[in-house]
Structure 1
Amino acid sequence: MKADAQALKGHLDVLLLAALQDGPRHGYAVKEALKAGSDGRFDLPTGTIYPALHRLEAAGLIAGSWSQVDGRRRRTYQLTAAGQRRLRTDRDGWREFATAVTALLERKPWPATS
């Protein structure tokens, strides 16, 4: 199952932060990290990735810098201290949410009501 941008609504920011946790990446490498890390399920268009990166940068969660590679300018992003804190918080929140959903979806039949 391949996810689209709409299916990831509300989760895209934390996924982008997670894609940057191992160090700086340029925008296209972030896109490819999401794709590779999800076994191809999160192959999002650049029109979804770049506005989200700009939003995270404006929020102070990532910092961007320009570089020149093979005569082309590209923007590289990295987590800020605030971005690292947000990633930890969101990751913990996701685990709690996933645990609760799993408990409901995989539980035995609901108890009978009186």
Structure 2
Amino acid sequence: MARQDTEMLKGTLEGIVLAILSRRPAYGYEITASLRDRGFADIAEGTIYALLVRIEQRGCVDVEKVPSEKGPPRKVYTLNPRGREQLDDFWRTWEFLSERIGELRAPTTPHHGSTDMSWI
């Protein structure tokens, strides 16, 4: 992934993880696998675990330790009401940004030599 892509992803990854958790509770590896299934192949598990710690500390998820057939219990994350508020905020911001970026991408061409900057 190019550096710009990586930086853009970092800015949206929390919202993406909250969106995954809005569909169903999951543990860290399931979230990472879900992201990879959606084409985010370069996501490191450590990145997701660090993000899960942050959203847990901010009170956006409820955590339950569930026994695992292999190894220690798994922490299963469930989006709670505060997390849903954060997700709603994320979607509002996403809509705002995507509309504005879409406007910038629209095929408008300024007249060469024009000092009119209203197209910016």
Asked if TM exceeds 0.5, the reply is yes
How far, CA to CA, are the matches of 1:110 and 1:82 in structure 2? 45
Report the alpha carbon displacement of residue 5 of structure 1 after superposing the two structures with TM: 4.8
2:95 maps to amino acid: R
Q: Comparing both structures, which one devotes a greater share of its residues to helix?
A: 2
Q: Whose radius of gyration is greater, 1 or 2?
A: 2
Please report the TM-score for the alignment, with normalisation by the length of structure 1.
Answer: 0.85
Please report the TM-score for the alignment, with normalisation by the length of structure 2.
Answer: 0.81
How far, CA to CA, are the matches of 2:29 and 2:70 in structure 1? 17
Report the alpha carbon displacement of residue 6 of structure 1 after superposing the two structures with TM: 3.7
The answer to whether the Cα contact below 8 Å between 1:57 and 1:63 also exists between their aligned partners in 2 is: yes
Report the alpha carbon displacement of residue 105 of structure 1 after superposing the two structures with TM: 1.4
How do 1:23-102 and structure 2 match up within 5 A? 23-36=24-37, 38=38, 40-72=39-71, 73-102=73-102
Are 1:12 and 2:13 counterparts?
A: yes
2:11 maps to amino acid: G
User: Across the two proteins, how many residue pairs are aligned to each other?
Assistant: 112
Report the alpha carbon displacement of residue 30 of structure 1 after superposing the two structures with TM: 0.8
Report the alpha carbon displacement of residue 42 of structure 1 after superposing the two structures with TM: 4.8
Report the alpha carbon displacement of residue 8 of structure 1 after superposing the two structures with TM: 1.4
1:99 maps to amino acid: E
Q: Which runs of 5+ in 1 are unaligned?
A: none
Report the alpha carbon displacement of residue 7 of structure 1 after superposing the two structures with TM: 3.8
